[in-house]
Amino acid sequence: MPSYTGPVEDFRFLIHECLDLQECRDLPSLAGVDSDIIDAVLAEGARFCESVLQPLNAPGDEAGCRLEGDEVFTPEGFRDAYRTYTENGWPGLTSSPDYGGQGMPHFLGIAMSEMITAANTSWGMYPALAHGAWELIHLHGSDEQKRTWLPKMIAGEWTGTMNLTEPHCGTDLGLVRTRAERRDDGSYRISGTKIWISAGEHDLADNIVHLVLARTPDAPEGTKGLSLFIVPKFLVDDGGGIGERNGVRCAGLDHKMGIRASATCEMVYEDAVGYLIGEENKGLNLMFTMMNGARLGTGIQGLGLASVAYQNAVTFARERLQGRSLDGAKNPEKPADPIIVHPDVRRMLLTSKAFIEGARALAVHTALQLDIEYNHPDAERRERAGHWVALMTPIIKAYFTDMGFEVTSLSMQVHGGAGYIVDTGVEQYMRDARIARIYEGTNGIQALDLVGRKLTAANGETVKSFFTEVERLLGECADEPAMAEFTKPLAGAAERLKSTTAAVYQKMAGDPLEAGAASVDYLELFALTAMAWSWTTQARAALRALDAEGARSDFYRTKLDTARFFMARMLPETLGLEQKILAGGETLMALDESAF
């Protein structure tokens, strides 16, 4: 059976030694949050995930959810775990203190999300969707809506969902048919069918607050005619408690490859009472706030699953005795050497480790930018942070989930035949990780978002936000000779990314198909360069710490060695990507459809 230990030490390194928290002293989310509190939250969070969620992961996968009538029952233990989670205040970790939240910084939220996913991806879906829903209401709801829904949702008593997809429309939301009819009391009546609704129905919470995209009778065609509604499972009575049952029910549960303990529901709305958020026909933009948060969260799923799959691969590689090291026995008193002596096993483990820790640093830094974007007193600083978040959202979503899946596959490879056996438990990680490349906008859509929207956004300021950070880091390290082995490859990759960006920009001006042809490779090129930046910041912190006396030297030396591996054996992928991108889309489009 797999095991899991929350990477608290790595989080502490990233937060205390890599982030520039000085410039964030004035952020409300950091007021009173000193290093003791950060450490306590990380330690308690890890403890909850390791001891409560992880043991439910494999049994939950085996049992799945159960539909009886229109009620959904989650696997045994899920309810109790959810109760513990809410009783201990976790749903409100980063949410607004105005509505009962703890208002803590987003890097703690991201850390907790990673550990929850690693321990139990399916279980984590329920609070994650609830989080997205309250965030949307918090940003776009009226004061009355906030008062009605937020306190219960932030306390975790009620959860939430996002309802976009319909049987005939997934990526293209312009085709949404669900209807919303106005009533005299200001509410609406919602009718239609939504599919693939995560956490649409379950037994963890007293009420479920659905956020539903629907179309009013006179709305314009396409995405410009979508409005967003709050449609609760139970209406709220005058006292703010549970009232009448609303006209929404679960009509089916999907049987899936992975995340089997997450209820994926078909939801049928029949004259259900709904409350408009914002204005009519402006719904899609509002939904995108939830989508953006959800996209970051989905990227973190890739990271979390990679992390737990890697941990178990390391344990196996250390224990499995098989064959001898190519240069002679390392373990002569035993019948064979552990497989971790083999260069190829190390390649797999190091690729995993370098991805995980590089990605984690990028995620923690991006999470801090979220706090800056929302709350920094300096407008210019807020804007710059916003650009970074907008740029990194598709990169984190797509690259983290592609690599997350790859790492779960590497973990299976390290396990050999045992990895393919269900009872070993690592194949679940691979199945659970696969969906993350698809939902919340497929990774192809993320690449189009990067090339089509983010490249041109804000007159190029969005993209510039990355290069500015790279140049700043290179400038700060210019006088540190020990940093050259990291800054040189970073500078090279950044130059390559810059020239490729210019080339892509030029090509797509002439032919929009060129943007589509370049997009996926371009996103990976960008992601690898961002990882080089991330590893360089970590290498700098590690070198500084090693200079200080009495440091835990093993930890920092391992950081430097892993950074070297990344620069030497992962970053060079950018050369091939550059070549593929510059080759253009001609060969992709040459075949006639009938030739496939």
Partner 1 sequence: MKILVTLKRVVDYNVRVRVKSDGSGVETDGVKMSINPFDEIALEEALRIKERGEAEEVIVASIGGDEVQQQLRTGLAMGADRAIQVSADGDVQPLTAARTFLKLVEKEEPGIVFLGKQAIDDDANQTGQMLAALWDRPQATFASKVELADGKATVAREVDSGLETIEVDLPAVLTSDLRLNEPRFVKLPEIMKAKRKPLETLSLEDLGVERAGGIEAVSYEPPPQRGGGKVVESVDELVSELKSKGLL
Which chain residues interact with partner 1 by CB under 8 A?
Answer: 5, 8-9, 32, 34, 36-37, 39-41, 43-44, 47-48, 84, 87-90, 92-93, 102, 333-334, 550-552, 555
By beta-carbon proximity to partner 1, the closer residue of 37 and 175 is: 37
Distance CA 89, CA 218 (A): 44
Nearest approach, Cβ of 43 to partner 1 (angstroms)? Answer: 8
Could you please report the per-residue DSSP string of 86-101?
HHTTGGGSSS-GGGT-
Tell me which H or E stretch contains 234: strand 234-236
Nearest approach, Cβ of 144 to partner 1 (angstroms)? Answer: 26
By beta-carbon proximity to partner 1, the closer residue of 36 and 592 is: 36
Catalytic annotation, pick one of 135, 201, 440, 578? 440
**DSSP-assigned letter for residue 177:** -
Beta bridge partners of 234: 245
Nearest approach, Cβ of 553 to partner 1 (angstroms)? Answer: 9
Output the CA–CA distances (angstroms, integers) from residue 450 to 155, 367, 447, 502, in the order listed.
35, 19, 5, 14
Of the chain, the end-to-end C-alpha distance in Å amounts to 44
Show the DSSP H helices in 49-182 as ranges: 57-63, 78-87, 106-140, 143-154
Query: And the tokens for 179?
Result: 């209807």
By beta-carbon proximity to partner 1, the closer residue of 96 and 193 is: 96
3-state secondary structure 469-514: HHHHHHHHCCCCHHHHHHHHHHHHHHHHHHHHHHHHHHHHHHCHHH
Nearest approach, Cβ of 324 to partner 1 (angstroms)? Answer: 16
By beta-carbon proximity to partner 1, the closer residue of 548 and 591 is: 548
- Catalytic, 440? Answer yes
Nearest approach, Cβ of 307 to partner 1 (angstroms)? Answer: 16
Nearest approach, Cβ of 539 to partner 1 (angstroms)? Answer: 18
Distance CA 222, CA 368 (A): 36
Nearest approach, Cβ of 104 to partner 1 (angstroms)? Answer: 8
By beta-carbon proximity to partner 1, the closer residue of 183 and 334 is: 334
By beta-carbon proximity to partner 1, the closer residue of 417 and 550 is: 550
By beta-carbon proximity to partner 1, the closer residue of 78 and 466 is: 78
By beta-carbon proximity to partner 1, the closer residue of 44 and 271 is: 44
Beta bridge partners of 188: 182, 274
At 205 the three-state DSSP class reads: coil
Closest CA to 89 of 109, 73, 75, 74: 109
Closest CA to 400 of 370, 364, 441, 355: 355
Closest CA to 209 of 258, 242, 167, 256: 242
Backbone angles phi, psi at 208, to 5 degrees: -125, 125
Are the beta carbons of 535 and 559 closer than 8 angstroms?
no
Nearest approach, Cβ of 41 to partner 1 (angstroms)? Answer: 6
Distance CA 539, CA 579 (A): 29
Nearest approach, Cβ of 46 to partner 1 (angstroms)? Answer: 10
Query: And the tokens for 22?
Result: 């000085």
Are the beta carbons of 361 and 537 closer than 8 angstroms?
yes
Are the beta carbons of 528 and 500 closer than 8 angstroms?
no
Output the CA–CA distances (angstroms, integers) from residue 394 to 236, 291, 401, in the order listed.
37, 11, 11
CA dihedral 351, 354, 360, 362 (to 10 degrees): -110
By beta-carbon proximity to partner 1, the closer residue of 130 and 531 is: 130
Could you please report the per-residue DSSP string of 355-377?
HHHHHHHHHHHHHHHHHHHHH-S
**Mind telling me the catalytic residues?**
440
